[in-house]
């Protein structure tokens, strides 16, 4: 990494740190006005921004228009949370005379913003997980300045959105350092940012390899900081024979569309399809293959992402325990969809067969028993989502399978497909390792701002201290 890159990162972090105390003490009105102003400005400039985003990512105007709408929606949603007092909530236990345990001093539990947050943009959501995305919105709502690490897949868009945001900060009389932007595709740049002593927390969405490297840096600092990382997921979907007997054709089409949505470049893309050894399952696999095989995809976001997809497909093509379920058509702008069947026990035994293939590919696992299905879930170990089709009846088997799914997933679906993540209060977008580094937190939904607050108890505090 060059000296100028280091200097720019240091400058952005120093400017963020200089705003931290004032922003932590800012009022709900100031924070909410900024968040709504950012949403308004994003929408006002969306035509030019979407054109730029499509040039860099090839995701298409329709998809990108929807993403801008989601980004503006969550900015305004966090403004609502701020006005509702969520970052300023407190629990007040009045003093009780006498010795403990009945007696106690007065204790007031409040939330303290962590300080400057390093936010790593994602490749696959150039608006919603980028400069003004959910991590930035939730951190600002919590009272923390943000230094955004732009993604190399859409650098011009990142600069343009940051310029829009800087205009809003100026209009509101707020310092430019409240939202910084740094660039640099090298891992060294990311490491320098995470290791910077004035960074107080990190939000990351990206690959397992890159995420674990930065997570180790965050934990090996002289003063470790929280690392909220989303590292990838293979999102198993289990379908019982009963529902496949009733609705196999529609379910196959729905699943094929989900696997190829966005060229499969979603962290919630269903990558493992689990079915029982049954005639209805065989028919469903045939229908899924028929629905998936002719679909076309668009160009992948980056050349390295395409290489990763090709390498993952080649790994399964050469695995003795895996077999392709159809002959793929020739690649167009994007890669042809792929579907493999893997022997259940081999999938359980071989971690390489469980590696995520980021792109339009999935594997089918046929299990012989509920116990073997549970073993498949256990082997997966941690995932953002698990989908369970056909669980209308309360039986010992459905309870056992649900327990297994709950133990590994951050979100369990009983209908539909996992692609598409609603921004709500009840949402959980995180999961046990290796899906994320902090399974008790979420990067989507309004609970996301809790990541950037820590609890603080004030004992026998004077009135002026409680008014802060």
Most distant CA pair in the chain, distance: 80
**Is 249 annotated in the active site?**
no
Structure token pair of residue 432:
């046990």
Q: Are residues 430 and 442 in contact, defined by beta-carbon separation less than 8 angstroms?
A: yes
How many Å is the Cα radius of gyration of the chain? 24
Cα separation, 204 vs 115, whole angstroms? 16
Q: Name the percent of the chain lying above pLDDT 70.
A: 99
Of 81, 144, 267, 356, the catalytic one is 267
Element (H, E) at 389: strand 383-389
In this prediction, residues 117-123 reach a mean pLDDT of 96
Q: 243 pLDDT exceeds 70?
A: yes
Q: Are residues 203 and 451 in contact, defined by beta-carbon separation less than 8 angstroms?
A: yes
Cα separation, 207 vs 318, whole angstroms? 23
Condensed to tens digits (0 to 9), the pLDDT of residues 273-326 reads 999 999 999 999 999 999 999 999 999 999 999 999 999 999 999 999 999 999
Q: Which residue segments constitute the domains of the chain, with CATH numbers given? A: 3-231+436-466 (3.40.605.10), 236-413 (3.40.309.10)
Condensed to tens digits (0 to 9), the pLDDT of residues 400-457 reads 999 999 999 999 999 999 999 999 999 999 999 999 999 999 999 999 999 999 999 9
Cα separation, 35 vs 165, whole angstroms? 10
Q: If you average pLDDT over every residue of the chain, what do you get?
A: 96
Enter the pTM of the model: 0.95
Of 230, 263, 341, 356, the catalytic one is 230
| Nearest C-alpha neighbor of 117 from the set 447, 454, 439, 445 | 454
Condensed to tens digits (0 to 9), the pLDDT of residues 3-52 reads 668 899 999 999 999 999 999 999 999 999 999 999 999 999 999 999 99
Q: Are residues 310 and 71 in contact, defined by beta-carbon separation less than 8 angstroms?
A: no
**Is 343 annotated in the active site?**
no
Q: What is the dihedral of CA 419, 424, 426, 431, to 10 degrees?
A: 40
Q: Name the percent of the chain lying above pLDDT 90.
A: 95
pLDDT confidence band for 186 (50 / 70 / 90): confident
Q: 88 pLDDT exceeds 70?
A: yes
Cα separation, 273 vs 285, whole angstroms? 9
Determine how many CB atoms are found less than 10 A away from the CB of residue 461.
Answer: 16
pLDDT, position 5: 80
């Amino acid at each position: 990494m060059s000296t100028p890159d280091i200097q720019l990162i240091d400058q952005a972090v120093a400017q963020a740190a200089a705003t931290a105390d004032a922003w932590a003490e800012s009022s709900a009105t100031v924070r909410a006005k900024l968040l709504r102003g950012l949403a308004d400005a994003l929408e006002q400039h969306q035509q030019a921004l979407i054109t730029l985003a499509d040039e860099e990512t090839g995701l298409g105007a329709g998809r990108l228009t929807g993403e801008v709408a989601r980004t503006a929606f969550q900015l305004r949603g966090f403004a609502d949370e701020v006005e509702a007092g969520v970052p300023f909530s407190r629990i007040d236990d009045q003093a009780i005379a006498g010795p403990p345990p009945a007696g106690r001093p007065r204790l007031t539990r409040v939330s303290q913003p962590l300080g400057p947050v390093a936010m790593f943009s994602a490749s696959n959501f150039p608006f919603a997980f980028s400069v003004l995305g959910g991590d930035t919105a939730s951190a600002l709502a919590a009272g923390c300045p943000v230094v955004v690490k732009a993604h190399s897949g859409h650098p011009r868009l990142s600069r343009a959105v940051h310029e829009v945001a800087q205009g809003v900060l100026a209009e509101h009389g707020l310092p430019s350092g409240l939202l910084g932007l740094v660039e640099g595709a090298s891992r060294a740049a990311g490491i320098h940012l995470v290791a910077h002593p004035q960074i107080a927390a990190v939000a990351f969405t990206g690959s397992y390899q890159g995420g674990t490297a930065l997570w180790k840096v965050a934990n090996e600092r002289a003063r470790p900081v929280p690392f909220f990382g989303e590292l990838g997921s293979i999102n198993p979907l289990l379908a019982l024979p009963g529902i496949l007997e009733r609705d196999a054709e529609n379910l196959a089409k729905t699943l094929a569309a989900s696997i190829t949505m966005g060229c499969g470049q979603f962290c919630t893309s269903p990558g493992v399809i689990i079915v029982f050894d049954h005639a209805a399952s065989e028919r469903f696999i045939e229908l899924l293959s028929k629905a998936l095989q002719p679909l076309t995809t668009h160009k992948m976001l980056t050349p390295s992402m395409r290489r990763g997809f090709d390498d993952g497909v080649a790994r399964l093509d050469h695995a003795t325990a895996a077999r392709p379920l159809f002959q793929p058509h020739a690649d167009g702008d994007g890669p042809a969809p792929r579907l493999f069947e893997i022997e259940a026990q081999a999938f359980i035994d071989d971690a390489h067969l469980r590696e995520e293939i980021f792109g339009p590919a999935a594997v089918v696992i046929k299990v012989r028993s509920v116990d073997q299905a549970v073993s498949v879930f256990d082997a997966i170990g941690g995932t953002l989502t698990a989908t369970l089709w056909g669980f209308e009846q309360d039986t010992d088997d459905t309870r056992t399978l649900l327990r297994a799914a709950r133990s590994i997933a951050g979100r369990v679906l009983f209908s539909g497909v996992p692609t598409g993540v609603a921004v709500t209060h009840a949402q959980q977008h995180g999961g046990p390792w290796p899906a994320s580094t902090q399974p008790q937190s979420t990067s989507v939904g309004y609970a996301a701002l809790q990541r950037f607050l820590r609890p603080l108890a004030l004992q026998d505090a004077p009135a002026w201290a409680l008014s802060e």
